Amino acid sequence: MSKRAKIYEADGMKQIIGERLKNKRLLLEYSLGDISDMTDFSKSTVINLEKGIATNLDYYIGYAKAIDFKLPELFNVPVVYKPKYELSEDKKNRIFLSKKIRVLFTKHDFFKNSVTVDDIIIHFEKQKELTRTPKLSTDISRILLNWVEDGVLYVVEKRGRTNVYRKINSPVILK
């Protein structure tokens, strides 16, 4: 049985936007029926938009376009920019490690030649930036596999259980 996702609520933002749409409608002397005619939305949809209980952003935009309510003004709402939940320390460490590897990728062109997880660890050990642990190998491997999925790297070859990686823009020339 699949788990149903909860609908994310953005702390009353839709209610503020809906109230702004309603106030603009009233200012322009439009009825609910007028908005319905202008948008091809049902009256109940218009009411739900004004109450901020509709969930589809496209409807809010359609309503705004109908009454010439500029989106930057409509969506200029106070927002606290922080995640709903903080990442675990493990995930924060993975991001830290990913940033270090990204520097190798961008500034040092480290992946222009074939590279293994061990090559990366050796590089960081020589620079005295990281210390080898069993978890470090696993974390680097996960990061590189994610980059393969993202189309940034590809696996050139497999040596037993070891993947060999290279940048996408430096293809292997087969002889």
| Tokens at 169, concatenated | 């823009």
| pLDDT of amino acid 172 | 44
Asked whether the predicted pLDDT for residue 169 surpasses 90, the reply is no
Contacts (Cβ under 8 Å, ≥6 apart) of 66: 35, 38, 39
Asked whether the predicted pLDDT for residue 7 surpasses 50, the reply is yes
DSSP class of residue 110 equals G
| Tokens at 125, concatenated | 């050990």
Q: What residue ranges do the domains of the chain occupy?
A: 13-74, 89-167
Domains 13-74 and 89-167 share a fold: no
13-74 sits in which CATH class? Answer: mainly alpha
Asked whether the predicted pLDDT for residue 168 surpasses 60, the reply is yes
Nearest Cα to Cα of residue 39 among 55, 25, 53: 25
| Tokens at 11, concatenated | 């702390």
| Tokens at 69, concatenated | 């309510």
Look at 155 and 108; give whichever has higher pLDDT: 155
| Tokens at 150, concatenated | 């993202």
Asked whether the predicted pLDDT for residue 67 surpasses 80, the reply is yes
Question: Does the model's pTM come out above 0.85?
Answer: no
**What ranges in 52-133 are assigned the alpha helix state H?**
57-66, 71-74, 89-106, 117-126
Nearest Cα to Cα of residue 169 among 158, 154, 157: 154
Q: Hey, which CATH number is domain 89-167, 1.10.10.10, 3.30.70.890, 3.30.2130.10, 3.40.1190.20? A: 1.10.10.10
Q: What percent of the chain has pLDDT over 90?
A: 74
Give residue 17's pLDDT band: very low, low, confident or very high (50, 70, 90).
very high
